[in-house]
Amino acid sequence: MSPERAARVARAVWLGRRRYGVMHALQEKLVEARASEQVGDVILLLEHAPVITLGRKADPDNVLFSAEALAARGVDLEVTARGGDVTFHGPGQLVGYPILDLKPDRCDVRRYVRSLSEVMILIAREHGVESGVVDGMIGVWADREKPGEWAGAPWSHELAKLGAIGVRLSRWVTMHGFALNAEVDLNAFRLIVPCGIRDHGVTSLRDLTGKAPSVRELAMASAPHLARGLDWEVSPVEDLSEVADLEKALLGASARAPDPTLDARP
């Protein structure tokens, strides 16, 4: 790591369970503040209330239920500007949204996406699951038949997706990020064609090993994995899950007029 990079420490924060739309609005404000150098690098860690999101190139047919039917099940539907297709977020899934300025030496989208994969691989390994990447399919994958081994997709018996990635960059400041399935209800993925992939299923740490830590536990212990995977200095994770005014806590003096929607939690 270069001396310049080592001097920049990303602030990591655990936000608890939050609605997707609220966190999307907060990300946009943080990206703007980071691009104008009003705040430093920050990594948001959280879990979402149930939501289906569509990326820039998503096929709407990959959402298998109407918005009304989803709402009746307590599932939000959001259209976003991230990359990727359709995915589900919900309780039991660790979501990470790094807001990082990749300038001057990290202006490489593929490298950044690979670093997010590495973060999830490292977290899964700590909990007894070996996983990896698959050519042509973004995200992190595991072998459901042999979760303690990963030799690559050609040697896997039952390939299943363990973690998803979708990113957006604005002026080389990152937004959106990764979602690692810890103990999420896998039945929720039947509401969609996950990431547009019909040939392989979705899995979780609990599905693979019979046990999983809580999302909070995963988040609070994640700083070393974030640092190693991103090759970035990362502070110990702060617990802001009980903070109502996240805009003030994260934007500080750069915050604009308070936005009451950012206080909302399910």
As a residue count, the chain comes to 266
Q: What element of type H or E holds 177?
A: strand 173-181
DSSP state of 105: T
CA distance 192 to 201: 11
Residue 28 phi/psi, 5° resolution? Answer: -60, -40
- Catalytic pick among 15, 42, 191, 195: 195
* Residue 79 to residues 29, 67, 75, 94, Cα–Cα distance (Å): 18, 12, 13, 20
Check if 195 is active-site: yes
Q: How far is CA 239 from the centre of its chain?
A: 17
The residues annotated as belonging to the active site are 195
